[in-house]
């Protein structure tokens, strides 16, 4: 019997070519078009996609809907990408959907079709799984981009959501905000409402133009749509007031210390409002409970007292991360230490410069990751030393780095960022040490 996880993780070793959307449709047809039996909310963007998906999932669950959520990447195990009512799918269902897709793949390859890429295979599994589970709503996150993304085979979503856009994956999506926005806006469908982050004028202009061309109702979300009212009494998050379309204010408790989550929560709230037009109704109570109950690992996650994990890995994400670091250290009156790693295709030099310019770190650790795309620690540490006014240490693995940096930080705060791959390794190390919260 084929081991599902081993097979999936080996796909990138021998399948490099992304299939066209026509070929993706052919695969889905061979599976009985599972996607056409599903109602989906399609989410694209550079930063915040996963958080918006998490907020939507929890609120819809609180409203009584059975949800299927497909997100990426995973932090520790592949099954994390497939959520039923916000919980990782069980192994039996995971393996059953894998077997279904594998059987179709073997037939299609025999007929001359290319083997699916890693992401394509997972997407097919998600569609098969969600049909089997008879979910009411699918919350579907794009992989990369939008226009040519595998998930864009979805023909008639209930709504399209576009989160904040910044420079990332520039070798594939373009090297300007407007070019990347055009790729993300490729998920917009004719007459399907689009809810989008209005914080970047260049991106908003592109999204507005595409939506206008397709006669898609447009719902921009900007800073005037919400107000942060202060911290929760227990220090685990903040209070915000969301301005609803009917003029009311809806008070929400957001369970994240990072204030950047206010924009993501507001995008989810506005989307939930718009979904009422499709018969998907989450009342104010469900929205409040859903936002309050949301958990999303690796996004300014307090994994243990004084230990924060954030998957920021591009200039926009790092800017939000640094704002959160400034806020958390100020409120807690503690000094910051940093543990960092990056993959080789990221703009790590500009990130290092911003990190060292914006925050008075007491010490910075650079870790080597298991991931083959990880940047050499000596090279990355050298770049940080060009900008840092504090010691910069190098570590051969994430486990050693975490142990030594927590020891160095002592009673102060340790922030970890630069790659979701790093965050996955650190969560695994932290759990094995028995200190995960």
Q: What is the pTM of this model?
A: 0.92
Rounded Cα distance between 280 and 40, Å, is 11
Where are the domains positioned within the chain?
4-293, 301-432
Q: What is the pLDDT of residue 432?
A: 65
Number of Cβ within 10 Å of residue 88's Cβ equals 15
| % of the chain exceeding 70 in pLDDT | 97
Task: Report residue 219 as tokens.
Answer: 């719902």
Give the pLDDT band (50/70/90) at residue 168: low
pLDDT of residue 437: 37
Answer whether residue 370 shows pLDDT above 80. Answer: yes
Q: Is the pLDDT of residue 436 over 80?
A: no
434 pLDDT above the threshold of 60: no
Task: Kindly report the backbone phi and psi dihedral angles of residue 111, in degrees, each rounded to the nearest multiple of 5, phi listed first.
Answer: -85, 5
Alpha helices in 71-114 (DSSP H): 91-110
Q: What angle do CA 81, 296, 236 make, to 5 degrees?
A: 170
What's the rounded mean pLDDT across residues 207-230? Answer: 97
Over pLDDT 90: what percentage of the chain?
80
Assign domain 301-432 one CATH number from 3.60.15.10, 3.30.200.20, 3.90.190.20, 3.30.530.20.
3.90.190.20
CB crowding 133-150: b at 16 or more within 10 Å, else e: bebbbbbbbbbbbbbebb
Q: Do domains 4-293 and 301-432 have the same CATH topology?
A: no
Q: Summarize pLDDT for 176-191 with one digit per residue, the tens.
A: 999 999 999 999 999 9
The mean per-residue pLDDT over the stretch 149-175 comes to: 85
- The pLDDT of residue 433 is 66
Question: What is the pLDDT at residue 313?
Answer: 85
* Average confidence (pLDDT) over 397-417: 96
The yes-or-no verdict on residue 85 having pLDDT over 60 is: yes
Architecture, CATH, for domain 4-293: 3-Layer(aba) Sandwich (3.40)
Q: Report how far residue 420's alpha carbon sits from residue 47's, in angstroms, rounded to the nearest whole number.
A: 12
């Amino acid at each position: 019997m084929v081991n599902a996880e081993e097979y999936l993780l080996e796909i990138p070793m021998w399948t490099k070519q992304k299939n066209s959307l026509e070929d993706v449709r052919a695969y889905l047809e061979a599976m009985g078009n599972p996607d056409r039996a599903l109602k989906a909310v399609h989410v694209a963007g550079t930063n915040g996609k996963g958080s918006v998906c998490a907020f939507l999932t929890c609120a819809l669950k609180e409203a009584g809907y059975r949800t299927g959520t497909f997100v990426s990447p995973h932090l520790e195990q592949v099954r994390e990408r497939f959520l039923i009512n916000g919980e990782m799918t069980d192994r039996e269902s995971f393996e059953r959907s894998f077997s279904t897709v594998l059987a179709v793949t073997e037939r299609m390859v025999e007929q001359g079709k290319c083997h699916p890429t890693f992401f394509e295979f997972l997407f097919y599994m998600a569609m098969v799984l969600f049909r089997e589970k008879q979910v009411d709503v699918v919350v579907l996150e794009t992989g990369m981009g939008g226009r040519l993304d595998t998930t864009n085979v979805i023909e008639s979503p209930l709504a399209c959501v576009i989160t904040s856009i910044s420079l990332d994956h520039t070798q594939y999506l373009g090297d300007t905000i407007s070019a990347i926005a055009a790729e993300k806006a490729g998920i917009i469908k004719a007459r399907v409402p689009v809810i989008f982050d209005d914080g970047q004028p260049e991106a908003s202009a592109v999204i507005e133009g595409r939506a206008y061309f397709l006669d898609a109702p447009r719902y921009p979300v900007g800073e005037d749509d919400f107000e942060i009212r202060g911290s929760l009494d227990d220090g685990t998050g903040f209070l915000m007031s969301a301005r609803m379309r009917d003029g009311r204010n809806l008070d929400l408790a957001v369970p994240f210390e990072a204030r950047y989550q206010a924009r993501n929560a507001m995008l989810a709230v506005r989307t939930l409002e718009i979904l009422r037009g499709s018969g998907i109704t989450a009342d104010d109570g469900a929205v409040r409970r859903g936002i309050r109950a949301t958990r999303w690992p690796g996004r300014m996650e307090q994994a243990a007292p004084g230990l924060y994990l954030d998957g920021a890995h591009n200039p926009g994400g790092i800017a939000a991360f640094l704002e959160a670091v400034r806020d958390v250290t100020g409120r807690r009156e503690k000094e910051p230490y940093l543990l960092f790693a990056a993959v080789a295709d990221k703009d790590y030099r500009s990130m290092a410069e911003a990190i060292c310019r914006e925050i008075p770190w007491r010490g910075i650790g650079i870790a080597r990751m298991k991931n083959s795309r990880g940047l050499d620690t000596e090279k990355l540490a050298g770049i940080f030393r060009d900008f840092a006014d504090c010691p910069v240490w190098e570590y051969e693995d994430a486990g050693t780095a975490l142990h030594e940096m927590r020891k160095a930080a002592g009673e102060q705060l340790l922030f970890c960022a630069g790659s979701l791959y790093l965050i996955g390794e650190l969560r695994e190390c932290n759990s094995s040490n028995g200190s995960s919260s």
